[in-house]
């Protein structure tokens, strides 16, 4: 029932939706979103979505608004009132007060002919035939429709603003999501050890270097340029295939042309390379020179995975 109601929303989109988007986009003020009951909870969520995508917004509970919180609305603010019926007592008191202050008002309601609908400058129609509640009482289908309409509004505004993943990262610096958007390879590799040997390094010293640096790998470097890589796996294969290790050097067992990544690349890109090539380490370069190692375990520790 709820999914059918969402599908029907596309049939309810009118020119008012376009005008509402343009009004908010061109506004110098904020978006104040208000409601009562479950609609108030939906209003809070829409506020959070708008704020995180570049449209400054604040929540105002309709009941509190008529008991002092009307002072929250500033001169250039646009008010969105959410109400399924559009005829609740609080909304009937609040709507004329908003109009008297000359703030533009957008109604999100399932009843365009309601008191709220008649007071509003624009209407976002969220009509639903019936609540999913078997008694057709508990707000279920109606609040889902409001939520989806709010997302539609936010996405249209996001698109108009040219809001990019870099902008998104600016508003979401915390947690795994933020790290995927702003954490760079150099942020990880710079705190790791930097294992390296030359092509002439003995196998014994290669083993020591890999063991001491604890990354399961070492770069083979010449004039600070990466010419190869030796992993724990390379050492195991060498021991399986060779009876005499005398005289063997790093240059004899290294893998040439290893996978590398630029230090300035995003950490999430390093994960993509590792997954694509089934490897757990990447050598890092900066301006063509060896800069360190990024390991799969680093990405796990940072919450990228």
Strands (E), 7-121: 31-35, 57-61, 78-83, 105-109
- The class (CATH top level) of 185-301 is alpha beta
Between strands 78-83 and 255-256, the pairing is unpaired
What integer pLDDT is reported at residue 238 of this predicted model?
86
What integer pLDDT is reported at residue 140 of this predicted model?
95
- Cα–Cα distance, 43 to 33 (Å, whole number): 6
Domain ranges of the chain: 2-163, 185-301
106, 135 Cβ separation under 8 angstroms:
no
Series of mean pLDDT values for 10-residue runs along the chain (305 residues): 94 96 96 96 97 94 93 96 96 95 97 97 97 92 97 96 79 65 87 94 93 94 95 87 80 91 93 92 95 92 80
Handedness of CA 189, 190, 191, 194 (dihedral sign): positive
At the second CATH level, the architecture of 2-163 is 3-Layer(aba) Sandwich (3.40)
Q: Angle at Cα 11 formed by Cα 34 and Cα 136, nearest 5°? A: 60
61 appears as a binding residue in the annotation: yes
What integer pLDDT is reported at residue 278 of this predicted model?
92
What integer pLDDT is reported at residue 303 of this predicted model?
80
What are the angstrom distances between the C-alpha of 55 and each of 58, 101, 156, 212? Answer: 10, 22, 11, 51
Kindly give, in sequence order, each residue whose CB lies less than 8 Å from that of residue 7, ignoring residues fewer than 6 positions away: none
What integer pLDDT is reported at residue 171 of this predicted model?
73
């Amino acid at each position: 029932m709820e999914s059918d109601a969402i599908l029907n929303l596309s049939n309810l989109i009118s020119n008012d939706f376009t005008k509402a988007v343009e009004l908010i986009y061109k506004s110098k003020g904020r978006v104040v979103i208000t409601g009562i009951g479950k609609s108030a909870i939906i209003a809070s969520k829409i506020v959070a979505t708008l704020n995180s995508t570049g449209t400054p917004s604040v929540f105002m509970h309709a009941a509190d608004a008529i008991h002092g919180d009307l002072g929250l609305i500033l001169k250039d603010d646009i008010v969105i009132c959410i109400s399924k019926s559009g005829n609740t007592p609080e909304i009937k008191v609040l709507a004329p007060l908003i109009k008297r202050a000359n703030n533009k008002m957008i109604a999100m309601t399932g009843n365009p002919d309601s008191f709220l609908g008649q007071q509003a400058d624009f209407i976002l129609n969220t009509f639903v035939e019936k609540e999913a509640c078997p008694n057709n009482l508990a707000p279920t289908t109606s609040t889902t429709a409001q939520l989806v309409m709010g997302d539609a509004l936010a996405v249209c505004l996001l698109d108009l603003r040219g809001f990019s993943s870099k902008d998104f990262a600016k508003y979401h610096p915390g947690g795994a999501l933020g790290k995927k958007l702003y954490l760079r390879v150099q942020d990880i590799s710079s705190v790791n050890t930097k294992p390296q040997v030359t092509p002439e390094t003995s196998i014994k010293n290669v083993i020591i270097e890999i063991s001491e640096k604890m990354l399961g790998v070492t770069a083979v470097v010449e004039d600070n340029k990466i010419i190869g890589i030796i992993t724990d796996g390379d050492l195991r294969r060498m021991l399986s295939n060779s009876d005499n290790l005398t005289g063997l050097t790093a240059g004899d067992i290294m893998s040439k042309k290893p996978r590398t990544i630029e230090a300035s690349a995003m950490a999430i890109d390093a994960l993509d390379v590792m997954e694509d090539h089934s490897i757990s380490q990447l050598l890092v370069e900066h301006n063509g020179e060896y800069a360190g190692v990024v390991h799969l375990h680093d990405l796990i520790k940072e919450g990228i995975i």
